Amino acid sequence: MFDLTDKIALVTGGSRGLGRAMVLALAKAGVDVVIASRKIEACEAVARAVEALGRRALPVAAHVGQWDDNAMLCERAYDAFGRVDVLVNNAGLSPLAPSLKETSEALFDKVIDVNFKGPFRLSVLVGERMMAGAGGSIINLSSSASFKPEPHFAPYAGAKAAINAMTVALAKAFGPKVRVNCIAPGPFLTDVSGAWRDNEVMKNALGLKRFGEPDEIVGTALYLASSASSYTTGTIIRVDGGVW
């Protein structure tokens, strides 16, 4: 049920953190991967790691917050491989403003563009092609912040809550051939965790009393990518160590 041999996946934000972990896990499971992020050098480094595992890789520099870049990314993937079986909308960012009042319009728009507008546009472009073909699986990445929002990251929490809503809406739009699901990660120890990785109070507030390691996201991703989840769509799976 978990066999993914010769499938094609497109992973945004695939050059580091959770995205990189999912790219390498998919490659180990037999998947050829399109790796997208803003910096081509970082994509190329992960592509070499995928190729070392015996799979094909296509690194693409794309800014998912820009409407036209999503169209370009979709075209590059289909030109190279002819189809996309799995789309992982992982790219995201969570910059903080000095205060709610000091949140600039530019910062607000940037958070919404990357965390919501981009995944929406790319999901629609790829989902329509999946519908016209053999189907597929779309996996969105939300956040535990969408369930437990705090004032200092209100725009980010709002964008991720929008991803939760979009997951259900697109599951209805693209079913039954395309399954659309969502992973809501909690605090993981990636390269963007420097501001809080030593926060013992935050750690001890979690059910598991520790932060997640990037490889701990891949089991859920592989489940949703494969036919093991063939009767699962429109759902949000929390992988957060117990954010209550």
Task: Give me the residues paired with residue 109 across strands.
Answer: none
What length does the chain have? Answer: 244
pLDDT at 104 over 90: yes
What is the rounded average pLDDT of the residues 168-190? 97
Helix (H, G, I), strand (E, B) or coil at 110: helix
Catalytic member of 78, 156, 223, 231:
156
Q: Supply the pLDDT for residue 198.
A: 86
Report the candidate in 220, 209, 219 with the shortest Cα–Cα distance to residue 243. 209
Examine the residue annotation and report whether 223 is marked as an active-site residue of this protein: no
Q: Which residues of 166-202 are buried (b: 16+ CB within 10 A; e: fewer)?
A: bbbebbeebeeebbbbbbbbbbbbbeeeeeeeeeeee
What is the rounded average pLDDT of the residues 10-25? 97
- pLDDT tens per residue across span 129-141: 999 999 999 999 9
Q: What phi-psi label fits residue 195: left (phi over 0), alpha (psi between -120 and 50 degrees) or beta?
A: alpha
Query: 152: Cβ–Cβ under 8 A, 6 or more apart, which residues?
Result: 96, 97, 100
pLDDT at 120 over 90: yes
Tokens of residue 182, six digits = 């969502």
Q: Supply the pLDDT for residue 72.
A: 98
What is the rounded average pLDDT of the residues 190-209? 87
Model confidence at 196, pLDDT cuts 50, 70, 90, reads: confident
**Residues 61/39, Cβ–Cβ less than 8 Å:** yes
Q: Under CATH, what is the fold of the domain 8-239?
A: Rossmann fold (3.40.50)
What is the rounded average pLDDT of the residues 63-69? 97
In angstroms, the CA 142 to CA 193 distance is: 17
Helix (H, G, I), strand (E, B) or coil at 65: coil
Q: Supply the pLDDT for residue 195.
A: 75
- pLDDT tens per residue across span 146-165: 999 999 899 999 999 999 99
pLDDT at 193 over 90: no
